[in-house]
Structure 1
Amino acid sequence: MALPKFFEFFRPFLEAVSDGDIHTPKEVREYIKNKMNLSDEDVSVMLPSGRITYFYDRVGWAKTYLDKAGLVETPSRAKYRITDEGKKALASGEIIDLKYLEKYESFKSFHTANGNSSSNETIEATEEEKSPQEILDDAFNQVNSSLSSQLMDEVMKLSPGQFEKLVVRLLLAMGYGSGIDDAGKVTQLSNDGGIDGIIKEDKLGFDNIYIQAKQWALTQTVGRPEIQKFVGALTGKQAQKGLFITTAKYSADAIEYAGNLLGTKVVLVDGDALMKLMIRHNVGVSTEHTYEVKRIDSDFFEDEL
């Protein structure tokens, strides 16, 4: 049989966790498979990439969309539970599709992160107004936007110490300290003097990058006073290079202050930039598939064959 569309997995997913208990992804997939009367062959059909099945992919997207709407939650890694709003959705008897989810501001904000309006309008626009390349780019951006959101969810579950280790690993993955033994380290939490980590830029340790890592709520703002404290900590180390990295965002005066420092260079990385760097350098993510987009080589045809 033809596999149901991904939004048709929303209600079965909610039903799979409707008892209010915590469930594993395997339990949810098994329930949905039985509920939809899908055969082993149905759930084994692979995406064109050959890396994942349609079934696995659509259950995963259902979880993401329901989570962003606040109908399910992830109390711990790889554990799902229905919320009160999810129970209300089931009890309503309404069709739970994209239009239904868009009545929740949290989902609407997530779903329109790339400037899209409603799902129907988006589909019509891509079919009538955009070239295939633009549609492909939009799809790529939507996948990355969703990935960034899911990645941030996982990062916010880390302990402060784990977050600091993550930041050091990211810098090493970016190439800082390349070829140097013990190039990166996290300072002791109890007595770090305002410095959370250090990256060696040369083998003898003449030049180091000092790190401040703040795992703050996404709605919080890092202000100028926090940057000033960090600069003071750098001065205490007679350091000239600092990286202030946070899951939150920066105030305008914090950005202005960091940009006008004399003698000390402080780079600010906010939550959005952090997610982009993690994705770009494969920290906490892995490549599922690589698509090659090719075009006509005009020079080839203009030259004499």
Structure 2
Amino acid sequence: MTIPDFQSLMLPLLEYLNDEKEHSHRETIDHICSEFKLTEKEKQETLQNGQSIIGNRISWAKVYMSKAGLIESTRRGFYRISQRGKKVLNEKPVEINIRYLKQFPEFLEFQAIKYTNIKKDRDETEAESITPDELMENGFNSIQASLGQELLIKLRSNSPSFFEKVVLDLLSNMGYGEGKVTGKTGDGGVDGLINQDRLGLDKIFFQAKRFGEDTPVSASMLRDFVGTLEVNGISKGVFMTTSRFPKDAENVISRSQKSIVLVDGPKLAKLLIDFNIGVSTTKTYEIKRIDSDYFIEE
């Protein structure tokens, strides 16, 4: 039997965890290998980085179901089924795959982050029809999406004041200048400012709202922010949130002559990764090509 793809592993993995006990990744691999009757050769097959293929696919099955709230990590390298996962199994699904997981809002957020960098959405089942370069890019985007959602979860678990500092660090790293956090109760719709020049003649006001995915920024908050820019004579503003904006957000800010940028959770996660805020590099891959000049004989 060939090694199952990671989507085919989702339901067997969740069923294995149905005993509600904490399981290590190592024992999970052993169980899945036994269930699918993999040969010793198949168990030993590895990726170029040395990780076993079956272990890697189980990891991704676990990641995707974790993003949907079906599995929860208990400590490093250990996990168990969640109450939602139990409920899913009670419904006796024929299979669990990416399409099935899209019913859960947390997974949709994960997908939103993943596809921020992709011009044309593709389902993972199309992998065989795309080029190796595209396959690598899709894998990279999956890793970035997982990291992005972890960033949002971390930000939501920290204090609002910490998130204001993160926004300040991000804007500074993006090259907009130095600034300070001014946010406090009754701040009038502004949490900080960036000085784009040394004399502080050109300023950017920013607002930072640390909300859960199910709590969008309200239109009244946007109007308050626009009003603050008007009152202070500031022409530029950035409104960042770990959540999302209302559908009429663009209409609200378009009524003002101010230059205002809205950054929602998925876009924020991408910016944090791109500008190295709260993340570090663990691996680097080099893609090489033939140097045609080298083969030209004199």
Aligned to 2:37: none
Q: Where does 1:47-66 land on structure 2 (aligned, <5 Å)?
A: 48-49=48-49, 60-66=59-65
- CA–CA separation in structure 2 for the residues paired with 1:222 and 1:74: 29
User: Structure 2 matches for 1:94-243, cutoff 5 A?
Assistant: 98=97, 102=100, 105-106=103-104, 109=108, 115-117=121-123, 122=125, 125-127=126-128, 129-177=129-177, 183-222=178-217, 224-243=219-238
> Would you say how many aligned residue pairs link Structure 1 and Structure 2?
281
Question: 2:5, 2:151 → 1: CA distance?
Answer: 25
Q: Contact (CA 8 Å) 1:18, 1:87: kept in 2 or not? A: no
- Measure the CA separation in 2 of the matches of 1:77 and 1:236: 50
Match of 1:71 in 2: 70
- TM-score for both structures, normalised by structure 2: 0.69
Structure 2 spans left out of the alignment, 5+ residues: 34-42, 116-120
User: Identity over aligned residues, as a percent?
Assistant: 35
Structure 1 equivalent of residue 242 of structure 2: 247
Q: Find the counterpart in structure 2 of residue 270 from structure 1.
A: 264
Distance 1:232 1:80, change over 3 A: farther
Partner Cα separation in structure 1 for residue 173 and residue 142 of structure 2: 25
Contact kept, 8 Å, 2:184 with 2:191, in 1: the verdict is: yes
Aligned partner of residue 24 in structure 2, secondary structure: helix
Q: Is the 8 A contact 1:193 1:233 kept in 2?
A: yes
Gaps of 5+ in 1: 38-42, 178-182
- Give deviations 1:74-110, integer Å, cap 9, x for gaps: 69999956322334567899998648x9367228755
Aligned pair partner of 1:288 in 282, 288, 297? 282
Contact 1:15–1:90 under 8 Å retained in 2: no
The offset of 1:211, in angstroms, is: 0.9
The 8 Å contact of residues 9 and 58 in structure 1, kept in 2 or not, is answered as no
Q: TM-score, normalised by structure 1?
A: 0.68
Q: How far did 1:212 drift?
A: 0.6
> Quick check: 2:14–2:81 contact (8 Å CA) kept in 1?
no
Contact 1:245–1:274 (Cα < 8 Å) also in 2: yes
- After superposition, the Cα gap between the structure-2 partners of 1:257 and 1:79, relative to the gap in structure 1 and judged at 3 Å, is farther
Secondary structure of the residue aligned to 1:156 is helix
Structure 2 vs 1, CA of residues 256 and 218 (structure 1 numbering), >3 Å: closer, same or farther?
Answer: same
Which aligned pairs between 1:16-27 and structure 2 lie closer than 5 A?
18-19=19-20
Using a 3 Å threshold, how does the CA distance of structure 1 residues 172 and 59 change in structure 2: closer, same or farther?
Answer: farther
The Cα shift of 1:222 comes to 3.7
